Structure 1
Amino acid sequence: MSSRPLPRVQEYTKAFWEGVKSGKLLIQRCRSCGSYQHYPRPGCASCGSRDLGWVESSGRGRIYSLTVPRVVIGDQKAFEAEIPYVLAMVDLEEGVRILARVTGYSRPEEVSIGDQVVFEPVDVGGFHLPYFKKA
């Protein structure tokens, strides 16, 4: 088991995490207004409807913004061996933004805003997380 803090699976996020584990990036789509949304939640952020479904994302996107943690602060010692790493906001083709790690670069300094990336699930201590890699 990983010593790193991992997400808590809620009833309304279960399909998302099961999708990641099976290699699919699922995002919610409102059946009432057609809006896509991420992060998963029990109601539509656009119209308030609770009639939500899941659709498979293309998994392709562009880096909108990024940061490179280089020091550990507070109680985040579990990440110490992993720094530096790239954490980015990725704009998916479907129009939603997702926060995830980015891999596939030799050095964090090579990553740029606007870079194309693709979804890649990564097993972290038995829990699969959505990462993105250089396209």
Structure 2
Amino acid sequence: MADATDNTSTGLLTPTPDDDGAPFWDYAAQHELRVQACANPECGRLRFPPRPCCPHCQSFDSEWRQMSGHGRIWSYVVPHPPLLPAYAAFAPYNAIIVELADAPHIRLVGNLVTSADAPLNSIDPDRIRIGARVQVVFTEVDGITLPRWVLERP
């Protein structure tokens, strides 16, 4: 999908899209959460991370399906100490894995925040619960639009 790059502007990690994952980031820039799917009518399965070939039917035909943007926290971590110097100012911050409501086998990594442009440490780590329902929001960081997550019931 993409490699994480240490961005020289903020020092925060941002993705470097590859050919297979570029549409994910293009749709994110339009504030749409989309997941790659097999376009073979006999298969049609969703897949993430994106790749050129369907792992189920080996078709090279794909499409991008819009997701509702709803999910639940499947897992999370609060790094102590921060793993990279640029993140020290945000400690304690979180990284969560979200299981999508309309595609439970698809899980995305992001941050839980109070609003799209809130800092990474805007949620008290004691409020994070596995199974909590979340909704995607989008914010721009160093020229790339990233999906982040907010609690559906703050």
Gaps of 5+ in 1: none
Once the two structures are superposed, the pairs formed by residues 1-135 of structure 1 within 5 Å of their partners are: 1-32=9-40, 33-73=43-83, 76-95=84-103, 96-104=106-114, 106-135=123-152
- Distance in 2 (CA, whole Å) between partners of 1:14 and 1:106 is 30
- Distance in 1 (CA, whole Å) between partners of 2:87 and 2:59 is 38
Q: 1:44 to 1:72 in 2, by over 3 A?
A: same
Cα RMSD, aligned residues only: 1.5
- Distance in 2 (CA, whole Å) between partners of 1:41 and 1:94 is 20
Indicate if the aligned counterparts of 2:74 and 2:131 stay in contact, CA closer than 8 A: yes
Q: 1:120 to 1:31 in 2, by over 3 A?
A: same
Gaps of 5+ in 2: 1-8, 115-121
Percent of residue pairs bearing the same amino acid type:
29
The equivalent of 2:6 in structure 1 is: none
Q: CA deviation at 1:5?
A: 2.7
Q: Greater relative contact order (Cα 8 A, min sep 6): structure 1 or 2? A: 1
Q: CA deviation at 1:62?
A: 0.6
Aligned positions, number: 133
- Distance in 1 (CA, whole Å) between partners of 2:51 and 2:124 is 34
Indicate if the aligned counterparts of 1:36 and 1:94 stay in contact, CA closer than 8 A: no
Residue 103 of structure 1 aligns to a residue in which SS? coil
Q: CA deviation at 1:6?
A: 1.6
Residue 120 of structure 1 aligns to a residue in which SS? strand
Deviation per residue, 1:14-52 (Å, 9 max, x gap)? 111011111100101111211111222222233332111
Return the letter of the residue paired with 1:112: R
